[in-house]
Amino acid sequence: MRAKVACAVILCSLLVIGQLHVSATEQQLPLYRRVIAIDPGHGGPDPGATRGDLKEKDIVLDLGFGLRDLLQSTGAITYLTRDSDTDLADQNQTVTGGRKRRDILRRVELVNEWQPDAVLSLHVNAIGSSRWRGAQVFYPPDDPKAEELAKSIQKALTKVLRNTNRVAKVGDYRILNDAKCPAVLVEVGFISNPEEAALLTEASYRQKIVWAIYLGLQEWLATEKE
């Protein structure tokens, strides 16, 4: 009996030590308890850029889910502006203007309510010519923190995807300009480029994009803490 009690005590101690060890390790992770807002663009009646059946709104929602799962697994607190095939216009009846305007303003309102450490707005690029390809990250003007984040994610995308020499650039987007925290917009690739469009349908390529955005974000948070 005594032996059993002793065993139980040892087991409990090991469990407690184990837990302490896990939480100490977790706290060293740059993303631990950091709040990240993920904004998959478009949705519902707004498909974004399209190529046949391939729609920007579906690609970025899937990337958003992937990013959410990965970030949560490393201890981050995440928010998604949408988690289904819908836009946010109907949540914003009081605002005047078209559907697109109501949608965007609701996204801005949400991220400013959440006060995250960073906002990642996800989009797919399209252009008249099929020539252009490559992921590119945009940041608002006069925001050094967002600029650093954009550069960090761009660097990781370039390294992981190995198909672009694009650089992070200032972009004039409402979600970036009106967010009260560092916000970047990631154009993950060009749907107008046949090869890149094909890659964007592949789960393994989407995983690479998610991984790169995660790496860039993690790097930015790690250097910011020092």
Binding stretches for Zn ion (CB under 5 A): 41, 48, 123
* Smallest separation (angstroms) from Zn ion to the CB of 57: 8
Q: 47 or 75: whose CB is closer to Zn ion?
A: 47
Q: Which two tokens stand for residue 22?
A: 């896990």
Left, alpha or beta for 185 (phi > 0: left; psi -120 to 50: alpha)? beta
CB-based closest residue to Zn ion: 123
Directed axis angle between helix 203-225 and helix 56-73, to 10°?
A: 50
Q: Which helix or strand (DSSP H or E) is residue 22 part of?
A: helix 2-28
* Smallest separation (angstroms) from Zn ion to the CB of 79: 19
Q: 56 or 143: whose CB is closer to Zn ion?
A: 56
Q: 40 or 66: whose CB is closer to Zn ion?
A: 40
* Smallest separation (angstroms) from Zn ion to the CB of 8: 58
* Smallest separation (angstroms) from Zn ion to the CB of 215: 23
Q: 43 or 48: whose CB is closer to Zn ion?
A: 48
The Cα–Cα gap between 217 and 49 comes to 25
Q: Are strands 118-125 and 183-190 parallel, antiparallel or unpaired?
A: parallel
